């Protein structure tokens, strides 16, 4: 389940072209093969293909969990959702044979110079947009947690007007962009805050601790190339550092108490009752 660190890792890989020194930046789309139509959020398939062919990739960035391909005429947005991933490869293998399509390949973007970008997505939740107005989608997102512009004070102001529980609020992408289930649980534990705590009950000190914790787990996640769980996303090692996530009934590394799992906002939520007391 790619969250901010996993998406950031993928974007860095795409930008740096660690695939046989072939760079996507500068490549021009020559064709698109579509195996699962619903992967295209907009426009409709025919228009999508007609419009993207001939455009060149200028840059590749991230906003929240969205991957943004800056093209010459418009933007290509990709959201990996639960199980999406991107694969860059040559079209032909070392024997000069066209590589076979993978079972979970949903969209394949072809470029000149024997290169293709494959959107893989076993669970088919991922979505792709081609748009001239990316702000219509990205504009709804909350601030970037790692942006220096987000201070403890501004974060405190954002939280103090909300009466929601911390966990669902932090996972709300319109409130803060990039956190998912894993990093939210990890950040709340590091900040010693209960997932059911109401946002407006936090003191400025609590909020500073929370923001620092969020940044800490995200930075560590990025540094470890993200977390690999569920057979989906590969290559990361942050899963070896989990403090609470998927450690139900195991001892807390801080206090030794047994980690509990509850359901909050339809999401499995892991926390330590000892380190993260609820207060009112």
Partner DNA sequence: CATCAACCCTGAGAGC
Partner DNA sequence: TGCTCTCAGGGTTGAT
> 24 is written with which tokens?
């996507």
Q: Taking the mean position of all CA atoms in its chain, how far away is CA 55?
A: 25
> 161 is written with which tokens?
């007007």
Query: Exactly one of 12, 15, 164, 201 binds DNA (CB under 7 A); which one?
Result: 164
Helix and strand numbers, DSSP H then E, in the chain: 7, 11
139 binds DNA (CB under 7 A): no
Nearest to 168 by CA among 253, 80, 247, 262: 262
Residue 173 Cβ, how far from DNA at the closest point, in Å? 5
54 binds DNA (CB under 7 A): no
Query: Exactly one of 17, 122, 273, 274 binds DNA (CB under 7 A); which one?
Result: 122
Question: How do the residues of the chain divide into helix, strand and coil, expressed in percent and rounded to 5?
Answer: 30, 25, 45
141 and 177 Cβ atoms separated by less than 8 Å: yes
Q: Does 62 participate in catalysis according to the annotation?
A: no
Give phi and psi for 16, each to the nearest 5. Answer: -80, -15
Contacts of DNA in 215-244 (CB under 7 A): 231
> 142 is written with which tokens?
């909350």
Query: Exactly one of 162, 192, 201, 215 binds DNA (CB under 7 A); which one?
Result: 162
116 binds DNA (CB under 7 A): no
Whole-number Å distance between alpha carbons of 107 and 271: 38
Residue 12 Cβ, how far from DNA at the closest point, in Å? 19
Contacts of DNA in 27-46 (CB under 7 A): 38
Q: Does 136 participate in catalysis according to the annotation?
A: no
83 binds DNA (CB under 7 A): yes
Nearest to 268 by CA among 168, 174, 190: 168
Query: Exactly one of 19, 104, 160, 215 binds DNA (CB under 7 A); which one?
Result: 104
Q: How many other C-beta atoms are found inside a 10 Å radius of the C-beta of residue 44?
A: 9
280 binds DNA (CB under 7 A): no
143 binds DNA (CB under 7 A): no
180 binds DNA (CB under 7 A): yes
Nearest to 186 by CA among 228, 208, 217: 217
Q: Identify the active-site residue in 89, 192, 267, 273.
A: 267
Q: Identify the active-site residue in 62, 65, 106, 209.
A: 65
Provide the annotated active-site residues: 2-3, 65, 267
Q: Which residues bind DNA (CB under 7 A)?
A: 1, 3, 38, 64-65, 79, 81-83, 103-104, 122-125, 162-165, 168, 171, 173, 180-182, 231, 246, 265-268
């Amino acid at each position: 389940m790619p969250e901010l660190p996993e998406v950031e890792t993928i974007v860095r890989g795409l930008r740096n072209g660690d695939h046989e020194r072939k760079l996507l930046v500068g490549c021009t789309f020559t064709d698109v093969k579509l195996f699962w139509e619903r992967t295209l959020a907009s426009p409709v398939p025919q228009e999508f293909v007609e419009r993207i062919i001939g455009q060149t990739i200028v840059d590749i960035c991230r906003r929240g969990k969205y991957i943004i391909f800056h093209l010459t005429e418009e933007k290509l947005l990709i959201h990996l959702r639960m199980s999406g991933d991107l694969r860059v490869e040559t079209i032909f293998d070392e024997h000069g044979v066209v590589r076979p399509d993978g079972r979970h390949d949903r969209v394949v973007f072809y470029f000149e110079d024997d290169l293709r970008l494959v959107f893989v997505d076993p669970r088919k939740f991922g979505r792709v947009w081609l748009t001239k107005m990316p702000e219509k989608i990205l504009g709804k997102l909350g601030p970037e947690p790692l942006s220096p512009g987000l201070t403890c004070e501004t974060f405190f102001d954002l939280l103090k007007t909300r009466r929601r529980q911390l966990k669902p609020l932090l996972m709300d992408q319109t409130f803060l962009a990039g956190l998912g289930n894993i990093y939210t649980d990890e950040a709340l534990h590091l900040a010693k805050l209960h997932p059911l705590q109401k946002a407006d009950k936090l003191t400025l000190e609590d909020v500073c601790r929370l923001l620092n914790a969020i940044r800490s787990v995200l930075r560590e996640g990025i540094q470890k190339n993200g977390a690999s769980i569920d057979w989906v996303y590969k290559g990361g090692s942050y899963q070896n550092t989990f403090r609470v996530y998927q450690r139900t009934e195991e001892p807390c590394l801080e206090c030794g108490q047994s980690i509990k799992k509850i359901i909050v906002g339809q999401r499995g939520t892991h926390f330590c009752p000892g380190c993260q007391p609820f207060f009112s």
